Chain A
Amino acid sequence: MSWSNENRNEYLFFTEKHKNIFLLLLLIFFLLSVKLFYLQIVRGNYYREVSEHQRLSTTHERAFRGLIYDRNNNLIVDNITNYVALFYPFEQQYMPSEESIEKLSEILQKDIKKSIETGWRYGRVVKLAENLTVNEAFKIQENKLFLPGITVVKEPKRRYYDAVENAHVIGYVNELRAEELENMENTDLRVGDIIGRCGIEQSFDKYLRGKDGGLSFEVTAKGRHKKMFNYNAPTIGNTLYLTIDTDLQKVAYKALSESSSGKGAAIVLDVNTGAVRAFVSCPGYDVNKISYVKEYRKYLKDKKLPFFNRCIQALYPPGSIFKIITFVAALEELKYNYHIIENCTGSFELGDRFYSCSSKKGHGKVDLISAMAYSCNVYFYKIGLALGVRIIDEYAKKFFLGEKTGIEIASEKSGFVPTPDWKKAKTKMSWLKGDTAILSIGQGALWVTPLQMANLISAVSTRGISYQPYFVEKVRDSVTNKIIYLHEPVRNEKIELSNYTWQQLHKSLKAAVEYGTAKRTKFNDLKVAAKTGTAENPQGDDHAWAVAYAPADNPQIAVAVIVENGGFGGSVSVPVIREILKQYFHITEPDPEEDENNKNNKNKKNIKNNKKTKNKKNKQKNVKR
């Protein structure tokens, strides 16, 4: 019997306490079991997921973005492969170790420490170096044992053909930053994803972006890859077919860059659909190079502002191009007889001020048609004053001034048409007759974009029928090869004018080519209608405008050209139009004789000499304005 030598009570006393200990231990082991049940049964699913997530590492393989073709099926954007070194974090290491950084620097023969600090993170992945050569990539793979967690992956890189000419149409791409992602909703994008930044790359990002793929690995706690699971091949983005004609782009860009200032814009529209055939802002930039900081800074510092899309972002006064609107309004509203002849003496007196004409000597006796052809300001001052500001504004709006054209790329400006109410609110001065006079020749606080002018001349050519300009003809799915997007022309509101008005307008525009300011677009085999303009610019040299459509009797294309600070429209911008038309209609006709070129040069000089006097006049005007 237990405790045989002891008092029975002592033993009972012991067993009582002994029982308490037993119960205490029972309770503790029961609680442990409860916790075990909680961990493995209640929360088991969660922990299973965590452990799966922990053991699988997915290398990310970026998809190629879609290809872009021009109108003639010439490839303008495709992709090349770039090798990138990435660090995948493992165990308790979230950055590569000092030794592996040193080793990598040794292989690449440059210090990568800085680029790690400033470089992006792809989720938890750290980018160490990019643009590796094949040799370097192989060396890194060979030294994998000394570079735990570091992998080389192929990454697509965009390649742009005719990059400078097409820059403002296509735009460019770069990596999504973390702070941008914060502002985006409902997106499956991740930091570091490539997205389009402007132009078509941005507007059609959804179509161009491919589907990323990758390899799933099982990794050990030390970050070594153990076995491969599955490989999802990335899918290339969809193919875009543009309306742009690259040859035309090149010709237009060349003509613009060889013009007097080398700055400007040229737009060619298909009048029957609104398709943009050329869309050039000069100077452009090489999209292939802007990912290099040095080149990017160079472009930023360039005073010619290569990143500035002059086609849709720049605002200029339309100058004499606006006379088209004054002309139309006069015929429609005043039942104006175009035979009315005025005598132009070179200036026009209104109140106590003189308003000059484009020709200093004056055009002599002109009727409406020849006033248009010669771009006589005096004639149009008179019409404008007879019309009044409200009617002019009404017609300006009819021709879509002051509103966006709705083209597919972002950051288009809407321009501005001044009204008496606006002036009152802005300057607290009432609208004067002088304001009406200069408005009627397209000066004053009137602002338009080159694209609006192209749209305007396109509408003129087809008697009021115009379409929203567009770039993308169709999108082809890269997998199924089916067309998944086809552009349908969007018709703008028709400009309702009498036939007679259209007839007279077309007649006057043809006259400008025949004997007027746009003589240089005259071809033997092609009838052209055009209008030039010289927009006075209080900040600097005049802007040279020219708009045209051809063939005059059966219009196909409408062209608008501006050479910023170029000088006289007839001598600076019209030659650009001539080059564009020659290319588009495949005209081999030689340019007018050498003499004329010499004359041009002389003219230019004369213009430059005149400028000083003109500027003085401008200043006077500015004060009065």
Chain B
Amino acid sequence: MLNVKSIFTKITENIDITFWISLLYLLFVGFTAIYSASFNNDNLTKFVSTQGAALGIGVIGMIFFAGFNYQHYKHFYKFIYIFSCLLLVSVLIFGMEIKGTKGWFKFPFFSFQPVEVTKIMLILVLSAYIDINWRYIKKLSVFIKTLLITFGHFALIMLQPDFSSTLSYFPVTLVLLYVAGAKLTHIFSVVLYGSLAVSIPLLTTFFKLQPELLETNKVLSFFVNATSQWQNAAIILGSVILIIVLVKWFLNKLRIPIGWTYPVLFLCIIIAGSFSSIVVNKSLKEYQRKRLIVFLKPEIDARASGYNIIQSKIALGSGEFSGKGFLKGTQTQLGFLPEQRTDFIFSVIGEEGGYLFAQMTILFYFLFVWRALVVARQARDRFGSLIATGIAVMFAFYGIINIGMVMGLMPVTGLPLLMVSYGGSSMVSSMFAIGILISIHIRRFY
């Protein structure tokens, strides 16, 4: 164990200017936007001070995790996994329900969302498992076991249910498998399976919101009806089989021999994905499906599920180049922009700070992710590289999903913009993650 003094010198020796400037910018912009978004609230400083307290706890945790040698995680990754699962189970039992999600522990002065911490634990566990089994990573069994680790968390979180928090799990898991050298076929199969299972019910919901379109477009209505009428589904399945056989025959004619393994695998995935879509359809409520897909065309449900996106786009767009000025954003101050402290904080920045600050936010967010990836590249061992990659990808996808959402490019999922959005648990866990990154960084030479 290193003493405190040497930790301090290590940190100062290893200061990464870009990384810290990015982090400070994001924190600064976040606190400013939270202040602005709560300006009309009776308790003006409540949110800023809560966030400040969370940052304080986070920084203490960060220093602790920076000092702690990350390599130790590998030795007790199983305990971490069991502990994280226990956390998720106990929140199901003792947790408090907010907006229909049972995901918070309530304490006298604060509440705490365990999923924010378990997402980092999962990265540690996955990295450890992949690092230990990296020689067999191309084996299907290892691949599936890795997926199962993620699925355990996923299933527990879906019981709360908190769909949006699980969103970053898939890219993180797949990217970790990818950089560790898993078979591309496996990864591709999972991606295809997942996108089929999710997109079929969502697209059906989307088209059902536009009955006039279905009336004029017969082909489209045939596909939409396939979700409820087995005849249509059978015709589509039959034609898919026909196309696969034809393509294989054609490729053979071109003297590109393809065994039967891939076509059959492909077909199985399509069928499995289609059937899983029924499960997805059942597990998501109508309004959730609408909310997830309406971003493609928010006008079709402008007063309900599309309202948030429309208001967010108005807020962002109306900021123009230089913004409306601090505390002068009409969308924010008059309350047209929903969830402005949390999910739509980026719109507040865009409205009051304009393109200038919004683009800077994207830029610094990316620089932050880039520096985290650099930490992964410079790490001392594979385990460190995997952890850093996982954390970098997690930050990246939170940012992409959130910023994409407020600009109407992605579904409205309710993921915060890490380090910017209001929210104690996510702030604390972000700081922890940064602490782990520092821990990997400062130990790169030893």
Contact = CB atoms under 8 A, between A and B. Distances in A.
A226 B377 CA distance: 55
A470 to B, nearest CB: 54
Interface in A1-55: 2-6, 10, 13-15, 17-18, 21-22, 25-26, 28-29, 32-33, 35-37, 39-41, 43-48, 50-52, 54-55
Contact of A4 (B358, B373, B380, B389): B380
Given A14-B385, A36-B350, A222-B335, A25 B369 contact: yes
Given A43-B317, A44-B317, A92-B304, A25 B389 contact: no
Given A2-B444, A46-B317, A40 B175 contact: no
A47 B313 contact: yes
A6 B179 contact: no
A18 B318 contact: no
A18 to B, nearest CB: 6
A37 B378 contact: no
Given A2-B379, A35-B409, A44 B320 contact: yes
Contacts of B331: 51, 54-55
B151 to A, nearest CB: 22
Interface string B385-409: 1000100010010011001100101
A221 interface: yes
A219 interface: yes
Contact of A47 (B179, B180, B316, B385): B316
A5 B379 CA distance: 12
B181 interface: yes
Contact of A32 (B179, B314, B355, B362): B362
A3 B444 CA distance: 9
Given A36-B355, A40-B354, A17 B179 contact: yes
Contacts of A21: 175, 178-179, 373, 389, 393
Contacts of A43: 317
Given A40-B321, A222-B335, A32 B409 contact: yes
B256 interface: no
Interface residues of A, number: 45
A47 B381 CA distance: 50
Contacts of B319: 40, 44
B314 A50 contact: yes
Contacts of A219: 334
A105 interface: no
Contact of A51 (B330, B376, B381, B396): B330
A218 interface: yes
A39 B334 contact: no
B305 to A, nearest CB: 11
B208 interface: no
Interface in A167-223: 218-222
Contacts of A94: 303
A394 B178 CA distance: 105
Given A40-B354, A50-B314, A55 B380 contact: no
Contact of B400 (A13, A14, A32, A54): A32
Interface string A41-80: 1011111101110110000000000000000000000000
B362 A39 contact: no
Nearest to B334: A220
B307 interface: yes
B370 interface: yes
B181 A13 contact: yes
B336 interface: yes
Contacts of B178: 17, 21
Contacts of B366: 25-26, 29
Contact of A18 (B313, B350, B377, B407): B377
Interface in A219-258: 219-222, 226
B316 A36 contact: yes
A180 to B, nearest CB: 28
Given A32-B404, A37-B359, A48-B318, A25 B396 contact: yes
Contacts of A15: 377
B382 interface: yes
B179 A55 contact: no
B304 A14 contact: no
Contact of B370 (A22, A32, A40, A54): A22
B373 A47 contact: no
B315 interface: yes
B318, B393, B400, B403, most chain A CB atoms within 10 A: B318
A39 B336 contact: no
A585 B145 CA distance: 115
Interface string B228-253: 00000000000000000000000000
B316 A39 contact: yes
A286 to B, nearest CB: 45
Given A2-B377, A32-B362, A40 B389 contact: no
B334 A226 contact: yes
A40 B358 CA distance: 9
Nearest to B178: A17
B179 A36 contact: no
Given A17-B178, A36-B359, A6 B336 contact: no
B334 A221 contact: yes
A482 B237 CA distance: 82
A5 B303 contact: no
Given A32-B404, A40-B355, A45-B320, A55 B377 contact: no
A593 B8 CA distance: 130
Given A32-B404, A33-B362, A218-B334, A41 B321 contact: yes
B373 A2 contact: no
A54 B336 contact: yes
Contacts of B315: 51
A50 B304 contact: no
B415 to A, nearest CB: 14
A18 B314 contact: no
A52 B330 CA distance: 8
Residue with the greatest number of chain B CB neighbours at <10 A, chosen from A39, A91, A218, A226: A39
Contacts of B303: 92, 94
Contact of B313 (A13, A29, A39, A91): A39
Contacts of A17: 178-179, 181
B381 A39 contact: no
B355 A37 contact: yes
B368 to A, nearest CB: 11
B407 A35 contact: yes
Contacts of A10: 382
Given A21-B179, A35-B407, A40-B319, A55 B313 contact: no
Contacts of B317: 39-40, 43-44, 46-48, 50
Contacts of A45: 320
B313 A6 contact: no
Contacts of B376: 18
Interface in B415-444: 444
A25 B363 CA distance: 12
In order of increasing CB-CB distance, the 10 nearest A-B pairs are A47-B317, A44-B320, A221-B335, A51-B318, A40-B355, A47-B318, A48-B318, A29-B366, A17-B179, A55-B330
Given A47-B316, A51-B331, 15 more contacts: A2-B444, A4-B380, A13-B181, A17-B178, A17-B181, A18-B179, A22-B370, A25-B373, A29-B399, A32-B400, A32-B409, A36-B403, A36-B407, A43-B317, A51-B336
Interface of A: 2-6, 10, 13-15, 17-18, 21-22, 25-26, 28-29, 32-33, 35-37, 39-41, 43-48, 50-52, 54-55, 91-92, 94, 218-222, 226
Interface of B: 175, 178-181, 303-304, 307, 313-321, 330-331, 334-336, 350, 354-355, 358-359, 362-363, 365-366, 369-370, 373, 376-382, 385, 389, 393, 396, 399-400, 403-404, 407, 409, 444
21 contacts: A2-B379, A3-B379, A14-B385, A17-B178, A18-B385, A18-B389, A25-B366, A29-B369, A32-B400, A36-B358, A39-B313, A39-B350, A40-B316, A44-B317, A44-B355, A50-B317, A51-B314, A91-B336, A219-B334, A221-B334, A221-B335
